[in-house]
Structure formats: C-alpha cells, structure tokens
Amino acid sequence: MSASTTITPSTTPTPVSSTGDELAALGWEINANQYRLVHLAARFDDELEWFRLGYPSASSWIAAKLQIQTSTAREWIRVGQALRHLPSIDAAFAVQMISYAKVRILTRWADDDNEEHLLELAHERAAGRLTVAIAKFLADEGETDAERDLRLHDERSFTTWTDADGSTVLRIVLPPSVAKPVVAAVDELVRRIAMTPLEGGPAEQPAPGDGASESAPDASADASDEQSVVESSPKAASMVEAAPGPGISPDPLSVTLRDMRRRWQPDGRDDWTFPSLGQQRADAFVALYLGSGVSLTTEVVVHVRGDGITFDDGTPTTSSAVLRQLDDSFIRLMIHDAQRRPVDASGRRRHPTTRQQRVVMETHGHECVDCQRTELLELDHNPPFERTRRTVTHELEPRCAPCHRARHRHDLGAA
C-alpha cells in the first residue's frame, strides 16, 4: 500500500441522460451535503447553543429539529469530530472520493498511524466489504492471539428491541470462531430445503466429498504449506435421510425439510410468493435453534497462510480459536502450487466437484465477482456450459444468488 493518497477533485458530471444517471448525481449531491452536515453537527456540539436552549445534548436538539433518531444525530457528531484529526480521510470525503458510508466505518478505526492505509482500503473495497478488510489489516498490527481472543470474547452481546411493525429484532455479537458455524448451519439448512422435492423421494444428498466423509488417502494427499482447512461445525451430528421402516419414527431432518419446503411453495395455491433470502434464513434459524429436533453437519472453511488465518469471507481469526475446534471436526486440506495458486481439478461434467468449488472460491477471494457479497455463493459457468460442454475452474465464477439470476435474465433478454 502507498504511504500517501493523492486527492484529485472530481470532474464536472456528465449531463443527466437516464434515471440511473439522475439517481447517481443526486446520491453524490447528498453525499456532499452529508460532509457539511457532520462538520456542522460537530461545531454545534462544541458551541453549546443546545445547552442554552435547554436541551440535554446537541444530539437531542438535532433529533428534535430534523425529526431523526437521536442515535443518528450522535453519529453525525462523532464523525464530524473524528474528521478533525483525520485530514486525509476528511479531504477524500470533501471531494467525494469516498462515501459517507465508508467514512462512518473509517472514523471508528483510523488513527494517525493507520489513516493512510485504511483510506487505501476504502478506495479498493466496496462499503459492504470494508469492515472485513479493516479487521484483517488490524489483526496484523501486533495484537497477540490471546489478546484478540479475549477482546472478542469481551465484546460479545445479545440485545433485542421491538420494531415499529411489532416484530422483535435480535442483535447478536459473537467471536467469529463461534458465529461462523452458526451461520454455516443456517445457510446449509436453507440449501437443503431448496433442494427438497415437493413430492416423493428423499431430498438430494451432498455429493461424495461434500459432507462429513472423505477417504483418508484423498485428504492426506492434499497437505501443503498453504492450506484451506475445512472443519465440520462442532457439536453437529450427521443426519442421513432414508425412508423409515414399519414402526420407525421418521428422521426429524427429513420431516422438517419437507414441511418447510411445502410452506415455502404450497401446493394448489396461486397467490403464494416464494420467501426472500432473509425470510428463508429466518425460518432456518428457528428450525435449528428453537426445538425442531434438527441437526446438521456443516463446513466452516479456514485459510491458514503465512500472512494470517481467516475464514472464507476474509474475517481474521486466531490459531488458538481454530485449535479449539479440531477435536470435534473432520479436517480436509487443499494443496497450492509454488505460485500460491490452488491446484486445478477439472472434469467434463456440468456440476463442479467439491475440489473445483474450493479452487474457484480461493481464486476469486470467496466473494461474488459482481457485488463482493460472501453469502450463499453459487458457481456460474462463463461462458455457458451449453456452449463449452465442460466444467473447468477457469471458466467458473462465484456469484451470489441475486447476481446469478440477474446475469441470466440479462443473457435471456439479449438472446
């Protein structure tokens, strides 16, 4: 990374020619006003006008006058005050080189020593992925594994509140070594439900090597200096679906999969709407953790490299946190070549093998090639399989489900 960042004023915007152009122009206009707003909020806090007007804080006056949440006003003040001590970030924000969303993140972690490095990350990463990049950078800044484990443990929390529509909102903060198996279990159950047929026959099972078993020779043959370690989540039991015999109770997992699949796509109704991804994950969370008798074996991928240990999405973790999981986990390793590239494992089949999936994910940084999302990724043939009739890693790209659908809708429209 460079030690300094050159700020170049933005050029005059091109004439608005579409709704998208108009939206982008207005968005950056709001961003420019947001720069003024946070500085005015910080100055208003300093001048104590709010105290003379009888308000308990500057944020309460701002919230009352502008009809916003007090927490929003406090955030404006915090950002404005922080920018006074971060000249490079302030300058980039002033000329609209970075958005307010990125500034909010940067001002929580930047200081005199790391400001330039974090600003460089902000230029390179999307706002939704900036926190992960910062976490990885800060993990390399001299904090020991024991110190980081203790800090993450101390920051754990569980809070709830009632939303305006009456729903209960949960916010859970956990160390990544605890949270990742939870997320993996939710996403695995969502995948299994979607694969379950509406009528008859067992749900599709993971292909060999996808679940909790792999031959020992294959696993040991993958050993290398740079490794991707796949853990089965701790305290999880593998459930194999089969038709129950006479007098045998059906498998709770099989029953849950079919019940939820039918609820997502009810038979004989024309007015149903398939649930959103967020709704699917909420259903899976309830099924897993509120008494449906469901247990799964899931995978949590941990990357062990010379520059640190991370999960699939780049979240850093510690060696001690990984070691605590090993006794309850099945381990697989993936080999890399001398140039630190994952070894290709190509085949003439439509669906990629587990090894191919890992190669592609490692090559593309375990994120969607279009939006950098890291959740529920799917492998997309580019060019299409119908044209090439092969599945090779350099022709596969990870895309999140929305981007995958959008790409194929565009291709169908172009055709």
Residue 338 lies in a domain: no
129 part of a folded domain: yes
Residues 164-175: what's their mean pLDDT? Answer: 91
Task: Give the whole-angstrom CA distance, residue 28 versus residue 96.
Answer: 7
Percent of the chain with pLDDT over 90: 27
Together in a domain, 131 and 222: no
**202 & 321 share domain:** yes
Among residues 326, 342, 377, the one where a domain terminates is 326
26, 123: one domain: yes
DSSP-based helix, strand, coil % in the chain, nearest 5 = 45, 10, 40
**In this predicted structure, what is the pLDDT of residue 222?**
35
- Over residues 176-193, the pLDDT tens digits come to 888 988 888 888 888 888
Mark whether 137 and 204 lie in a shared domain: no
Lowest mean pLDDT among 124-133, 230-239, 331-340: 230-239
Name residue 32's amino acid: A
220 pLDDT band (50/70/90 cuts)?
very low
Are 310 and 127 a contacting pair, CB within 8 Å? no
pLDDT in tens, 102-116: 999 999 999 998 999
Domain final residue pick, 118, 141, 164: 141
* pTM over cut 0.75: no
If asked whether residues 118 and 252 sit together in one domain, one would say no
Top pLDDT among 184 and 332 is at: 184
Residues 268 and 383 in one domain: no
Q: Is residue 331 part of a domain?
A: no
Range of the domain at 364: 354-414
Rounded Cα gap, residues 141 and 190, in angstroms: 37
Judge residue 371's burial from the number of C-beta atoms within 10 Å of its C-beta, 0-12 exposed, 13-18 middle, 19 or more buried: middle
Of 29-33, 92-96, 125-129, 335-339, the least confident = 335-339
Q: Report whether pLDDT(36) > 90.
A: yes
- The answer to whether residue 4 scores a pLDDT higher than 50 is no
Percent of the chain with pLDDT over 70: 75
Distance of CA 217 to the CA centre of its chain: 33
Return the closest-CA partner of residue 227 out of 358, 320, 137, 398: 358
- Both 179 and 307 in one domain: the answer is yes
More confident residue, 326 or 89: 89
Q: Mean of the per-residue pLDDT values for the chain?
A: 78
- Residue 24 resides in a domain: yes
Residue 287 located in a structural domain: yes
80 shares a domain with 27: yes
To the nearest 10 degrees (0 to 180), the angle between helices 277-289 and 252-264 is 150
**Whether the Cβ atoms of residue 236 and residue 189 lie closer than 8 Å to each other:** no
Contact present, 398 and 368 (Cβ < 8 Å): yes
The answer to whether residue 62 sits within a structural domain is yes
Same domain, 120 and 188: no
User: Which one, of 121, 379, 154, 112, lies nearest residue 103 by Cα?
Assistant: 121
In a domain? residue 360: yes
Q: Where is pLDDT greater, at 351 or 222?
A: 351
Tell me which of 344 and 59 has the higher pLDDT.
59
Bridge partners, residue 310, by sequence:
303, 316
pLDDT at residue 16 tops 60: no
148, part of any domain:
no
What would you measure as the largest C-alpha separation in the chain, in angstroms? 80
Verify that 133 and 179 share a domain, yes or no.
no
Number of domains in the chain: 3
Region 239-265: mean pLDDT is 66
What's the pLDDT at 384? Answer: 85
**Based on the domain organization, do 25 and 120 belong to the same domain?**
yes
The whole-number average pLDDT for the span 346-368 is 76
Q: How confident is the model at residue 58 (pLDDT cuts 50, 70, 90)?
A: very high
318 and 358 both lie in a single domain: no
pLDDT band per the 50, 70, 90 thresholds, residue 367:
confident
